[in-house]
């Protein structure tokens, strides 16, 4: 099957990734954290397609940052592959000062960086956005806590 040739498998006992990347090279690499921004983990629907005028596929968001997202989807013919350009529609919680939140809706185009094997039926897809989100989702709570601390110091 063509798809299985480009999917990376995570080897849990060694903390390494094996597979064929979008350049067609077989690789065994260390899995190290290189992210500049924390990821906001949540589970919410995401809709995606290579051409957003075609039939959309549904996945479930795993995490998001201002620069990209990871979501799970079915391991079928509609599952994205490394290097593919796609458009995704999704919502991200935006937290308010009173500890409430509203969902902010986004449509972003991007490029598939990686597809990880979760099991025979599900893949994890990592996408880098062409245009970043206007805020850093994982840092909202930190920013709100910092604002509350500063306000408390001023009012005391």
Q: Could you give phi then psi for residue 143, rounded to 5 degrees?
A: -65, -45
- Domain range for residue 127? 40-155
State the pLDDT at residue 28.
Answer: 45
Residue 17 lies in a domain: no
Position 9 pLDDT exceeds 60: no
Residue 57 lies in a domain: yes
Residue 8 lies in a domain: no
pLDDT tens figures, 92-128: 998 877 777 899 999 999 999 999 999 999 999 999 9
Task: Give the number of domains in the chain.
Answer: 1
Position 10 pLDDT exceeds 90: no
Q: What is the CA radius of gyration of the chain?
A: 18
Token pair in block for residue 85: 């350009």
C-beta separation of 80 from 73 below 8 A: yes
Residue 23 lies in a domain: no
State the pLDDT at residue 111.
Answer: 98
| Residues 139, 121: Cα–Cα separation, whole Å | 33
- For the chain, the distance separating the N- and C-terminal CA atoms, rounded to the nearest angstrom, is 66
State how far Cα 74 lies from the chain centre.
15
Closest CA to 34 of 72, 8, 67, 60: 67
pLDDT tens figures, 43-92: 999 999 999 888 999 999 999 999 999 999 999 999 999 999 999 999 99
State the pLDDT at residue 86.
Answer: 95
Model-level pTM greater than 0.75?
no
Residue 51 lies in a domain: yes
- Burial of residue 32 (CB within 10 Å: 0-12, 13-18, 19+) is exposed
The residue to which tokens 């969902």 are assigned? 103
C-beta separation of 132 from 85 below 8 A: no
Q: What is the CATH number of the domain that holds 151?
A: 2.40.10.220
| Residues 45, 59: Cα–Cα separation, whole Å | 6
Residue 13 lies in a domain: no
């Amino acid at each position: 099957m063509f798809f299985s040739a480009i999917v990376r498998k995570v080897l849990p006992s060694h903390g390494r990734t094996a597979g064929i990347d979008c350049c067609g090279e077989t690789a065994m690499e260390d899995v190290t954290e290189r992210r500049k921004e924390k990821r906001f983990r949540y589970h919410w629907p995401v809709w995606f397609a290579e051409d957003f005028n075609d039939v959309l596929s549904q996945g479930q968001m795993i995490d998001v940052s201002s620069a990209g997202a990871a979501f799970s989807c079915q391991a079928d013919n509609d599952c994205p592959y490394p290097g593919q350009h796609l458009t995704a529609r999704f919502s991200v919680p935006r937290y308010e000062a009173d500890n409430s939140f509203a969902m902010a809706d986004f449509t972003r185009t991007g490029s598939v960086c990686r597809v990880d094997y979760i099991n025979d039926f599900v893949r994890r897809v990592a996408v880098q956005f062409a245009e970043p989100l206007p805020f850093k989702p994982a840092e909202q709570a930190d920013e709100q806590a910092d604002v509350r601390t500063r306000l408390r110091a001023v009012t005391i």
